[in-house]
Structure 1
């Protein structure tokens, strides 16, 4: 007797997919060599890399370079290596399970725990968006003289840009983000040429120095660099965007997808490392060498660059790079907000509603504080946003490592032992340093 497979399949509906508007929308070519297939996977890593060069990273890099020269370049290198490992694990679990990190938490944890993780993740994403929003507003003020309050309001327009690009396809969004990253890199390449750093000292700066542990001031800024590196929203976002590729269901196809996705994120994070290094090197070559070891604020760096480098274009390029980073970071933070809400709650809102809700939650406190206190208030708001991220980070990294270690769910695709050992060690270091940074901020 013949059966009706369509009715049988309807009785067992497929689980909701992550980011449905882009899910498996990028075809992986069967013909051609490995390079052509690798290029099909290039893109998600750049969406993730944006979070590693946001205004929070700028502040720590400026402070470290101006105060201690090239010494803390080794901290930037180590923190980037840790981030590469965690993002590779994100790609692995997203590809193998077909679920993002938020969905996996909903599948595994009791409802009260799941709701608690969702609330913390939403607060962290709003805090992230808040920091990028303020950074973008500062850039608009530096470049065009737009008042901070008006600049904060103008940043809401990038939600419309995201909607338009996603309707065009995820490759358009990835192309915009990657293009802006390369433009930022170009801005700082010119800055480095003008700053004329001591390249022998730069290379030596990538070798860890004992003074980082013995000097309390160096240790504090080093903790800031490490603590601001791994953003919670990046972990949720990466497990979702890797599923935009239409890789096969077989073992060989998934192994290839894991390998290529890891290459993509690692290369993109190498570029982020170069940009963060360039910020620190510029601060060291211009401010530290010039005796201005106290420069830590973005506005101060912008004001001093032109007279100390000798060309007004240096300050302009600095502000342009900040604006590009701010736009990029708000794009990915908004996408991460969609992943978190849909993944933890299974609640699907129209894209325009999701974008506006995320942006309004971040804009309201920024507008209020900017209107009441001006520049000094926004600086305090930036500090508060980083404290919130420190609080939330353990609640994203620990679940990631639990799922990466889950042999029952991953089976043959469980991460190699060396990755698990390094991943748990990285988790312990990141969490401990973030908690230390949080304690220092709360105790003054």
Structure 2
């Protein structure tokens, strides 16, 4: 096995490293024990997990819990298992092929296909950014009474903050993300204790029920949960940021990197599962059981928490968690935008310019809708952004499954037969559900 293992199935040499400013910048201790190595690899998984608990998830989880109690917990669990498998493929592609998903697509497909994939990806990132903008604006409104329009404008400021942090090194960004995740976790642990849910219905909710498929209203929200959980831009993001680790670029080094990166990713995504499940459980225990099944958005949920749980603190904690979630997702959305543009088009914009373009695409529709339709409009826009994300998912999943299953491109690291079958089933389910969702949305 050559010193610098590289599978031969790629048509051309990479034009550059993925995220060159932080590529291979974080050291992995050579002869350290298991825990020190795991700690060195920990970070990218948390960055990816953030996308699985963004404000878009809140809207679908609250609606699901309020309307149907604990029944849709099984959908949250299944979505999360799908996510764990797909993120494993994503990090494996990055480590083995030493290119991110966008660079891999650019190598494999023709210019026209790549242009279409790039456009779809940009739409997904803009939709995701839209959810962050609205989520943060709602949180600022709930905490400080700031009008939604001003809240949307304020979210432009975080552009400067993120650029400042990016200059401090990648570990700093990872630490901030981890800190905000701890805040969200703490907030929801508190909410669960307050809402006193029944354990047995929760356990029953984790088992898939037939009515999830037979009840159209339940299926619609179920697909929304799936769309809000498995994020297309996260597959691009993960394949890039695992390469920030300075592991040995040999077959043995890559094998070890895949092992630790998968552990980091899976543990982080279980944290995301806990947070999503917690949002749904709090909504079910607080609203569904008290006859408030029509609670479908973040504003209603915030207003009802205080009278139903008997403490103002419940609403404040809820809004703090929402703000943390919006800010966290903003960080990773920026990076994903940079990876996609550089990978597909080889265009290198200054990070501040790239960030400004992405944020403007999200802020302008959010501002227009907020000014014209107010609170109700922002909720509809939030749900709509999740539907767009769901639609785009297939265009990221199918190439990823193709590349990682190819012996030519991945050599000895290609997916084993059982994994190939599993991931094609997952891809097929995602495509089928999205076609159903599209038909529902249009008709």
Q: Note the C-alpha offset of 1:217.
A: 2.6
Q: Quick check: 1:183–1:321 contact (8 Å CA) kept in 2?
A: yes
CA contact (8 A) 1:61 1:279 kept: yes
Match of 1:41 in 2: 41
1:265 CA displacement = 0.7
Greater shift in the superposed pair: 128-137 or 155-164: 155-164
SS of residue paired to 2:296: coil
The structure-2 alpha-carbon separation of the partners of 1:392 and 1:213, relative to structure 1 and needing over 3 Å to count, comes to closer
Q: Distance in 2 between matches of 1:233 and 1:376?
A: 27
Which residue matches 1:213? 213
1:174 offset after TM fit, Å? 0.5
Structure 2 match to 1:333: 333
Q: TM-score if structure 2 supplies the norm length? A: 0.95
**Aligned: 1:234 with 2:234:** yes
The CA distance in 2 between the partners of 1:293 and 1:87, in whole Å, is 34
Listed one character per residue, the Cα deviations across residues 328-369 of structure 1 (whole Å, up to 9, x for unaligned) are 111111110001100000011111111111111211221222
**Matched residue SS, 1:289:** helix
How far apart, CA to CA, are the structure 1 residues paired with 2:373 and 2:64?
Answer: 27
1:47 & 1:193 partners in 2: Cα distance?
27
Does residue 113 of the first structure (1) align with residue 113 of the second (2)? Answer: yes
- Once structures 1 and 2 are overlaid, which stretch shifts more, 374-383 or 60-69? 374-383
Deviations 1:11-39 (A, max 9, x none): x9963111111110000001221221111
1:9 matched to which residue of 2? none
Query: In the aligned structure 1, how far is the partner of 2:373 from the partner of 2:214?
Result: 38
Secondary structure in structure 2 of the residue aligned to 1:249 = coil
Structure 2 residues without counterparts, runs of 5 or longer: 1-11
Distance 1:262 1:13 in 2: 27
Task: Give the secondary structure class of the aligned counterpart of 2:156.
Answer: helix
> Residue 67 in 1 paired to residue 67 in 2?
yes
Deviation readout 1:190-222 (Å, 9 max, x if unpaired): 001100010122122111222223333322222
* Pairwise CA distance, 1:230: 1.1
Name the SS of the counterpart of 1:328 in structure 2: helix
Q: In structure 1, how many angstroms separate the alpha carbons of the residues matched to 2:94 and 2:14?
A: 16
Asked if structure 2 preserves the Cα contact closer than 8 Å seen for 1:45 and 1:261, the reply is yes
Task: Count residues in correspondence.
Answer: 432
Look up the match of 1:196.
196
Paired position in structure 1 for 2:253: 253
- 1:415 aligns with 415
Shift of the 222–383 alpha-carbon distance from structure 1 to 2, 3 Å rule, reads closer
Instruction: Please identify, of 381-390 and 245-254, the stretch whose mean Cα deviation from structure 2 is larger.
Output: 381-390
Is contact 1:83–1:229 with CA below 8 Å preserved after alignment? Answer: yes
Residue 76 (structure 1) shift: 0.8
How far apart in 1 are the matches of 2:372 and 2:219? 34
* 2:164 is equivalent to residue 164 of structure 1: yes
Residues 122-141 of structure 1 mapped to structure 2, 5 A cutoff: 122-141=122-141
The corresponding residue for 2:280 is 280
Query: Which residue in 2 is equivalent to 1:223?
Result: 223
**Any conservation in 2 of the 1:370–1:377 contact (CA below 8 Å)?**
yes
CA distance in 2, matches of 1:15, 1:110: 16
1:182 corresponds to 2:182: yes
Is 1:439 the counterpart of 2:439? The answer is: yes
Q: Is the 8 A contact 1:22 1:166 kept in 2?
A: no
